[in-house]
Structure 1
Amino acid sequence: MFRFSPSDLKKQLKRLGLKNVDVEAIEAEEIIVRQRDGKELVLVAPQAVVVKMPGGAIMMQVMAQRVEEREAQKPEEALSFSEEDVRLVAEQTGVSLEEARRALEEAEGDIAAAIMLIEERRRAAEGS
Structure 2
Amino acid sequence: MFGGGGGLNPRKMEQMMKQMGIDVEDIEAEEVIIRTDEYDLVFDNAEVTKMDARGQETYQVIGSPEQVESGTAGAIAGADSDDDASSAIPDEDVDLVVARTGVSEDEAREALEENDGDLAAAVGSLE
Normalising to structure 2: TM-score of the pair? Answer: 0.51
- Displacement of 1:99 after TM fit? 0.7
User: Aligned residues, how many?
Assistant: 107
From the superposition, tell whether residues 34 and 94 of structure 1 become closer, same or farther in structure 2 (CA, over 3 Å).
closer
- Uncovered stretches (5+) of structure 2, i.e. residues with no partner: 1-8, 76-84
User: For the aligned residues, what is the CA RMSD?
Assistant: 4.3
- Write the letter of the residue equivalent to 2:21: N
Other-structure match for 2:103: 95
Distance 2:45 2:50 in 1: 17
Q: How big is each residue's C-alpha offset from its partner over 1:49-74, in whole Å with a ceiling of 9 and x where there is no partner? A: 43322362637496xxxx54643464
Q: 1 or 2, which has the higher helix percentage?
A: 2
Distance 1:110 1:43 in 2: 29
From the superposition, tell whether residues 113 and 28 of structure 1 become closer, same or farther in structure 2 (CA, over 3 Å).
closer
Deviates further, 18-27 or 67-76: 67-76
- Write the letter of the residue equivalent to 2:27: I
Other-structure match for 1:71: 67
From the superposition, tell whether residues 39 and 8 of structure 1 become closer, same or farther in structure 2 (CA, over 3 Å).
farther
Distance 1:59 1:113 in 2: 39
Residue 76 of structure 1: SS of its match in structure 2? helix
Query: Residues 13 and 19 of structure 1 are in contact (CA less than 8 Å); yes or no, is this contact kept in structure 2?
Result: yes
Deviates further, 80-89 or 91-100: 80-89
Query: Residues 30 and 42 of structure 1 are in contact (CA less than 8 Å); yes or no, is this contact kept in structure 2?
Result: yes
- Write the letter of the residue equivalent to 1:13: M
- Displacement of 1:100 after TM fit? 1.0
From the superposition, tell whether residues 60 and 80 of structure 1 become closer, same or farther in structure 2 (CA, over 3 Å).
closer
Residue 16 of structure 2: SS of its match in structure 1? helix
Query: Residues 80 and 108 of structure 1 are in contact (CA less than 8 Å); yes or no, is this contact kept in structure 2?
Result: no
